[in-house]
Each structure stands twice: as C-alpha cells, then as structure tokens.
Structure 1
C-alpha cells in the first residue's frame, strides 16, 4: 500500500520545485504566495529589480577609496612622482629664494621627490597640500619649490633621480607656529591621449597618501 502524502495547509499537494522557506520569515507568512510564487521568492526578485533600476539611474555609488595614512619617511607612490615627506620647519626666511611678508614667517616642508616619467619636469606645486594650518587659506599653494642641493628654484627633476625638494608657504604676522602639519600628496594618473587635447597627459586623480609631521621651530634661533 502506497504511503499517503500529508496534505499541505492550503489543501494542495506540496510541489518538489517549491523553494524551502527559511525560518527567518514569520510562521504566518510561510505559505503566503504572490501570483503563484512564495513570498520569499517574490521579495528577492523585487529586491534584485530595485537594485538594477537604482544602478541604471546612478543610485549605486562606488565607496570612496581609503587614503593611505603613512609615517614620515615613508615613500608614497603618487603617479608621476614618488614622494617621501621628510620634515617640516618654521623659518624666518629662505633668502634669496623665498621670503615672507613683513613680520611673518615661512612654513617649509622638505620632501624627497622622484620623477617617474621619462621626461624631465619641475615638481608640481599642487603635489603637496597642507591641511588646517592656522593663518593659511585652505586652497593656498606654496610660493614655489627649490632644490636643497643647490637652491635652484623650481628645479627640473630628471627621471628616476630623487632630489630633496623644499616647498615653502608664507604665514602672516602673529600666526602661531603649529606643533605639527597634516600633509596630503596629490595623485596623478597617466592618459595616453587626453579627451580635450588628444595628447598624452598626467591628470589629477585625488590624494595618493597623507602624513602628519612635527614642525621644528627655528624662529627663536633666528632672532
């Protein structure tokens, strides 16, 4: 005698194709069906459709890349340049290369910069950015760069030949010397053919890394 099949609560025989309902659904919803499909199957399908529509209209955004936090003295691969932040110093001036306004001082960051491109070029002024320095506008660029080896302003770097480069910012009179500075290193990405100029170009592409370095105060020694 064949075994009798246990009837389902709805009165119909269970279908082998019907998906197993997980216990996370409330018992009262286990047998609820939407147009012939179980509630769980319907919810998953609706969720997938919502994600597809959201992505099609730009609703899904890539999470921003985490910016590497490094210690001073650590090399940062920044595309066209490789940068190692060495130290920061507050000085009265760097004559004859750089001078502050009357009563002010210079905040100097020294970095080892290596050009990775195959054509010589000066280090970009935007390569280093200081963050939240009292007396310095958020978008302030340095006065310029200089080679520590021979004090050449805006020196032409040679491919794969690291140079110690000075970046100098001027701070106004009565500004307190910060105990430390937060330095960001700009990232650049190579494009073989620019969409605008149709020539090869290195374009700005966010921040490659950042570090916090203590500031040595040499102002008192200069008096």
Structure 2
C-alpha cells in the first residue's frame, strides 16, 4: 500500500498544473450534446418519447395484456335487440315446404326456412329493408353468408321500406336442403350493428356501413309441413 501511494504521488506531481488560478471545470462532451438536443426538442415531444418508453417497458414485462371483449348478448324469442338504427325482435323460426309471396321458390330437395321478426326503424328517415346495414344483414349463424328474401308478413309486400317509428312484421326466407334442419332444432340468428354516416362529395344523404354482429337470438324451429299454423 505504501508503494502504491508513492506511485500515485509521483503521477499527480507530474501532471500538476502550474501555479496560478485553477481553470474552470470542463463540461463533459456527452452532457453538452444532451443539453443542446434538449434545448431544441419540443417539450411535447419529450413527453411523448417518455410515454412511449414507459409503455414499451410495461408491454415488455406483460403489463399491457389484451383486455378480453365482453360476450355478445344472447336473446330468446320475443326479446328485442337495438342496433343499426333498428329495433329487431325475432319471434318464430319455421320450416315449411313452400310459402307463396316470399320471393323464394324451393327447388327439388329443398324446403324453406322462415324467420318471423318484428322490426321498427328508430332512425328519422325511411329506409329500405334491403339496404346495407338494414334488415338484409340478419343472418343465420353457422350457415352460408346469404341474405334472406324479405317480405311483410301482414300484406306480403316484397322488399318493403321501413318508415320511422312504424313497426313492421317481416318474414325472412331462405331455401335450404330438406335435411339441413328439423323441428325442435335450435336456430341461432345473428343480429347486427352498423354505423351511420352522412354523405359527402359524390354520396348524398345518410348511409350505414361497418356492419358487425351485435347479438345472437336462439329460437326453436317449428316444422309446419305444408302450411303455417298460427
């Protein structure tokens, strides 16, 4: 230890400054650079950079796990779902050999799957049932993505318009293989949501897009053979 102290004293003596006032301490180059950059960077950017670093570190340690989406509502016959500016109330699901005035004629080996649903347009303008975002978006779950033919149940009007605030009893009809469904089966129907937009530039008026499933309704299928029973 004594030898080490002597060496240190010799080195310090060799580099000792000449007598006179001591020079001001030098600012490290890296510190100058950081200070200069900070002077030119907006405080808003600094906050954003800090936030990004914090989020990155949190995600790296698993602190930002994906939040599971809540399950979609599950409805029964007679219950109402509101979406896409419509109140939709599925009432019955029926299998039938044929049904006139629905716009669908079954081919050989087919029957008709019929969904009776009450719909009220709660928007402030009339809408065709066949428009994007309207009744035509209702689908049978786990079946081909095909819109059903739409008619009014009370006066058999095909492809009706939905007047604001006026309930419309509708029939949605699909031709299906005769052995695809049977009486007592459960039919799961997908009801939808959509977003309303106002037209700009080349599009005039309001329209509905971004259609998504918003709820499911499950109904027991009634097989009525050759005719509908009340």
TM-score by length of 1: 0.65
Q: Structure 1: 5+ residue runs without aligned partners?
A: 1-44
User: What SS does the aligned partner of 1:215 have?
Assistant: strand
Alignment-derived partner of residue 29 in structure 1: none
Deviations 1:55-94 (A, max 9, x none): xxxx876643431112221110112211001010001111
Alignment-derived partner of residue 127 in structure 1: 137
Alignment-derived partner of residue 145 in structure 1: 150
Alignment-derived partner of residue 4 in structure 2: none
Deviation at 1:48, TM superposition (A): 3.8
Query: Alpha carbons of 1:200 and 1:156: their partners in 2 closer, same or farther (altered >3 Å)?
Result: closer
User: What SS does the aligned partner of 2:136 have?
Assistant: helix
- Alpha-carbon distance in structure 2 between the residues aligned to 1:51 and 1:141: 48
Query: Alpha carbons of 1:118 and 1:101: their partners in 2 closer, same or farther (altered >3 Å)?
Result: same
User: What SS does the aligned partner of 1:70 have?
Assistant: strand
User: What SS does the aligned partner of 1:170 have?
Assistant: strand
Alignment-derived partner of residue 108 in structure 1: 114
Deviations 1:27-58 (A, max 9, x none): xxxxxxxxxxxxxxxxxx9x94425677xxxx
- Alpha-carbon distance in structure 1 between the residues aligned to 2:57 and 2:165: 47
The structure having more radius of gyration, on CA atoms, is: 2
TM-score by length of 2: 0.63
Alignment-derived partner of residue 208 in structure 1: 214
Which stretch of the first structure deviates more once superposed, 170-179 or 97-106?
A: 170-179
Q: Which one of the candidate residues 151, 166, 171 is aligned to 1:166?
A: 171
Contact 1:194 1:201 in 2 (8 A): no
- Alpha-carbon distance in structure 1 between the residues aligned to 2:150 and 2:139: 13
Greater helix proportion: 2
Q: Pairwise mapping of residues 25-64 of structure 1 onto structure 2 (< 5 A)?
A: 48-50=54-56, 63-64=68-69
Q: Structure 2: 5+ residue runs without aligned partners?
A: 1-50
Query: Alpha carbons of 1:195 and 1:218: their partners in 2 closer, same or farther (altered >3 Å)?
Result: farther
User: What SS does the aligned partner of 1:126 have?
Assistant: helix
Alignment-derived partner of residue 8 in structure 2: none
